[in-house]
Structure formats: C-alpha cells, structure tokens
A and B are shown apart, each in its own frame.
Chain A
Amino acid sequence: DAGVIQSPRHEVTEMGQEVTLRCKPISGHNSLFWYRQTMMRGLELLIYFNNNVPIDDSGMPEDRFSAKMPNASFSTLKIQPSEPRDSAVYFCASRLWEGMAAFFGQGTRLTVV
C-alpha cells in the first residue's frame, strides 16, 4: 500500500522563481495537511484540507504561498515568487478521518538561492 507521495524530493531554485510542490495522499484519506519544517521554527502547519476543501490557511506565511486540492488524490503548494527564507523541508500528510493520526510523505527539501 503506497504511502503519501511527494514530488520533487529536492528542489533548488533561484530567488524570484515559481516553485510548485506536489502531493498524492493515501487513497481514501479525507484530510490533507501541508507543513514546513526548519531548525529555527520546527514543524509549522501551513494549511489543511478536509474533503478537498481548505479549512484553515492561517499558517500560510504570506500571499506568495498558495495551495490547491482539485481532487481527492492530488494537492499542490505553490510559492511565487520564492525567496531564500522559504528554504525548508515541506511535508505533506494525510489522515483517514478526524480522530486518527496523520501519515507523512518523505518531504520536499527546498533550497532557494
């Protein structure tokens, strides 16, 4: 059974470029989460979806960040334009239903130079 699949695993981009991170949740899961992790700030919840609908995006740092979930099997996190301070590991996680634990993808390591 495939877990949460994220792509790309690594991304190096220049400041000002658009970056798109992708996530395929576990089939049948109804919640999807995007997190960002840095040494300084730990794991930060950026946004989460329930049944493809964004529930809480208060963690999205600014308008340069946007996330979509067009269907139950795919989500994207976009940064436009990217800045060096966006360098971090971005994790996607999915959950079967509200009372259960979330399962994480392997993450995308983003470096903005």
Chain B
Amino acid sequence: RKEVEQDPGPFNVPEGATVAFNCTYSNSASQSFFWYRQDCRKEPKLLMSVYSSGNEDGRFTAQLNRASQYISLLIRDSKLSDSATYLCVLNSGGYQKVTFGTGTKLQVIP
C-alpha cells in the first residue's frame, strides 16, 4: 500500500462550484499534514497546513481525521485560477520525512 493515496482525477467542475478532495495515509505515526498546489511545469507550492481541529483559509478548508487516517481539502466558489494539481503531503518518522501523494488534478471550467 502506498504511504499516501489520492484520486488522480481529473475533477472537472464549473466556476462557482464546491469541490472536495480526500487523501488517505498509511502511517498512523504521521505528525504533520499539508496541502500543496502545483501548476503545470512549476514547482509545488504550499497551500495550507492541516490542523487536527480543522482550519480554513478563505475559500479553502482543510480537515484531518486521524482515526480514519485521511485528510481532506474543500474548495468553495471555485475560480478558474484554482485549476491545478493538489498534492497531499505528510511528515513522518524520526526526522519527519516529507512524503507526497500523487496529486489530484482539478480543472475549473467557465
């Protein structure tokens, strides 16, 4: 089983829609969680950290469920500029190795 699993998509949604991505992880000792976005031919960029109590940043909401070992990202009122690949990331192990999921591709359609 992969350490971090994501649905590759693509998710094609109209502007203004709400879309949610999930990511499951296998290492129950994972300690820190993040969502990154990656635009075509660019480097991954941090979107937001994911906290145990859930957290929100504008139109973006992230949640962590340790019992079921998944994290989620909710995007409300999708914009064309949200089109990108969203990567689930976790830090685990003694020196907190950074492991990326394979990413979920989002395409927001006019």
Residues of A close to B97: CB separation below 8 A: 45, 48, 55-56
Residue of B nearest to A104 (CB): B43
Closest Cβ of chain B: how far from A50's Cβ, in Å?
5
Q: Which of A42, A99, A104 contacts B96 (CB 8 A)?
A: A99
Q: Let me know if B31 and A48 touch, CB within 8 A.
A: no
Q: Which residues of A contact B99 (CB under 8 A)?
A: 45
Given the known interface contacts A42-B103, A43-B87, the answer about A107 and B43 at a Cβ–Cβ threshold of 8 Å is: yes
Identify A104's interface contact among B31, B45, B101, CB under 8 A: B45
| Chain B residue at minimum C-beta to C-beta distance from A109 | B41
- For B100, what are the chain A residues with a Cβ–Cβ distance below 8 Å? 35, 42-43, 45
Q: How large is the interface on B (under 10, 10 to 19, 20 to 34, 35 or more residues)?
A: 20 to 34
A62 within 8 A of B: no
Contact across chains for A101 and B43 when beta carbons are under 8 A apart: no
A residues contacting the other copy or chain, number (CB 8 A): 23
- Which chain B residue shows the least CB distance to A41? B102
* A56 nearest CB neighbor, chain B only: B97
Instruction: Bits for A73-106, please: 1 = Cβ < 8 Å to B, else 0.
Output: 0000000000000000001010100111111111
Chain A contact residues, CB within 8 Å of chain B? 31, 33, 35, 42-43, 45, 48, 50, 55-56, 91, 93, 95, 98-107
A48 contacts B98, C-beta separation under 8 Å: yes
Contact A93 B98 (CB under 8 A): yes
Q: Is A91's CB under 8 angstroms from B96's CB?
A: no
Residues of B within 8 A of A33 (CB): 98
Q: CB of B61 within 8 A of chain A?
A: no
Residues of chain A within 8 A (CB-CB) of B98 are 33, 45, 48, 93, 95, 102
The answer to whether B43 touches A55, judged by C-beta atoms less than 8 angstroms apart, is: no
Whether B96 lies near A98 (C-beta < 8 A) is yes
**Residues in chain B near residue A55, CB distance under 8 A:** 95, 97
